[in-house]
A and B are shown apart, each in its own frame.
Chain A
Amino acid sequence: MNVEVKVLFFAKAREVAGKSCDILSVSSPISYLQLLEEIVTTYSLADIKRNIILAVNEEYCNLDTTIYLKPGDEIAVIPPLSGG
């Protein structure tokens, strides 16, 4: 089943995606790796694929989990910032 979720971009992901949020339709349940792949492909984030944290509704997603998404869930794409 596909659900529409809100994707929030931070730091480098925001710069590359060219927006701070977007609505994305993804299948649910979905494995972490599939979700990451889907987001990375849709928003051209391949360069920082290994440097991203995904958080669903403000909670970190573990790499080996299956994620059950509901419509309207928020997925934050968080690369580290290093400036100061």
Chain B
Amino acid sequence: MPKQDFEDLKLEIKRLREELHQKEEFLRERQYKKLQGKNVYNDQFTTEEIVRYSRQMIMPNINPHGQIALKNSKILIVGVGGLGCPAALYLASAGVGEITLIDYDEVELTNLHRQILHSESDIDIPKVESAYNSLKRINSHIKVIPLRLHANSLTIKDIITKNKYHVIVDGSDNVATRYLLNDVCVMNDIPLVSGSALQMEGQLTVYHYQGGPCYRCLFPVPPPPHAVTSCGDGGVLGAVPGTIGVLQALETIKILTNSSGVLSGRLLLFDGTNTTFRNVKLRERNLKCDVCGENPTVKTLIDYELFCGSSSHDKVINIDILKCNEQIDIIDFSTILKDNVVLDVRPKIEYQMCNLPNTVNIPFTEIEKDDVFEKLNKLFKNKLADGIKNVYVLCRRGNDSQRAVSCLKKKFSESPIIFYNVKGGLHAYSKFVDTSFPRY
């Protein structure tokens, strides 16, 4: 199918969807007109609202006052991913009056296993737009404001000065944004419902709530960038951020309804491997804290990427540490793949997931070990005897393979073997050689 046809089809689907949406609204308005106006039985809610929220409103914990509080609340959710999606879903369903969503990314196929507001037909559209559509389908009474932007000091400052939020929900995926949101919350006196997840683990707490500690009280200095694992590299099981995101919604509702029992001054550690929840009692607010202490040194928002030494997103930043003659272009590589020695240095599991034929897997972590010399010599003995001296090193994106080449070069300085890095790795292979190779 030519590219133009794809675009035409996409446009037609979009137009039909809008038409469907309009017709559904039209029907709803006619069908439920009587339920949506004011009624003589309660002047705070429409008939439909009372029925819709009745299951939570009849509990003493929420009651009509709590429901009114939710209706009058404005919250900000930063990150509409694995945490933000379930959090937003439950907050919208519960009737939080105004929800602003911030995210810069577009929906990708790799998001769908955990980011439950997005569907297959949303791929390549902005996450905030996809989330907006999903939330409005569930609750058309509330106001959802999708903001497609990158959260940084400038953008957040602008939004915060124009709006008074009752809670900020941190569903971000990087250290810099976490410090940014913490400082914003302290400086503007807003509770921060902070969740995070990776692999099978999750963490949850509420910062800067009723005199409780902030993120900096606990973690005054950011971790070194190389010690931070992203979901893209470490992986994550969807139900784990799902669990934490849902609990973020719960804590937010408790704060908005002025309920007791908010998870402040305590850190919840969720371990999905054995389904344990641990509640660690935290320190009190640090009077010497840089931002919420008695004499704060951080009084305005700073450059958080600089402070953390890392970018405010979880994308991998590519390295370039080799010379031109130590590398091979992906197209050239694809033509010689069959008759050469190719080392794939990805972790074993990733190799099992998908691999190029005629390649050998030695994970990067093994390359650094001392016995790699014997291992490779054994592996390549026959090939070397045949006069093959070139070894091509391959990985997911072409970064670990560069590190591997540079490490192997030193270890094999006495050997006739020449190591080459395959530029751009399997991502480039999928992009330029064969799109049916899974780009993950």
Residues of A bordering B, CB below 8 Å: 10-12, 14-15, 20, 47-48, 50-51, 53, 55, 58-60, 62, 76, 78-84
Contact = CB atoms under 8 A, between A and B. Distances in A.
Contacts of A79: 223
A81 B314 CA distance: 13
Nearest to B282: A60
Interface residues of B, number: 46
A78 B267 contact: yes
B425 interface: no
B222 A84 contact: no
Contacts of B344: none
A83 B173 contact: yes
A84 B282 contact: no
Given A48-B227, A84-B79, A76 B278 contact: yes
Contact of B280 (A20, A58, A81, A84): A58
**Interface of B: prevailing SS:** mixed
A83 B175 CA distance: 8
**Interface of A: prevailing SS:** mixed
7 contacts: A10-B269, A47-B224, A47-B226, A80-B196, A81-B198, A83-B230, A83-B231
Contacts of B170: 84
Interface string B373-416: 00000000000000000000000000000000000000000000
Nearest to A12: B227
Chain A to chain B: the 10 pairs with minimum beta-carbon distance, closest first = A83-B198, A81-B196, A51-B223, A84-B83, A83-B231, A55-B280, A84-B173, A59-B281, A60-B283, A82-B175
A83 B282 contact: no
Nearest to B310: A82
A53 B173 contact: no
A62 B195 CA distance: 23
A84 B203 contact: no
Contacts of A20: 271, 273
A53 B203 CA distance: 13
Given A15-B229, A51-B221, A78-B269, A84 B81 contact: yes
B281 A60 contact: yes
Contacts of B227: 12, 47-48, 51
Contacts of A78: 267, 269, 280
Contacts of B218: 53, 80
A14 B203 CA distance: 14
Interface in B218-247: 218-219, 221-224, 226-231, 234, 236, 241
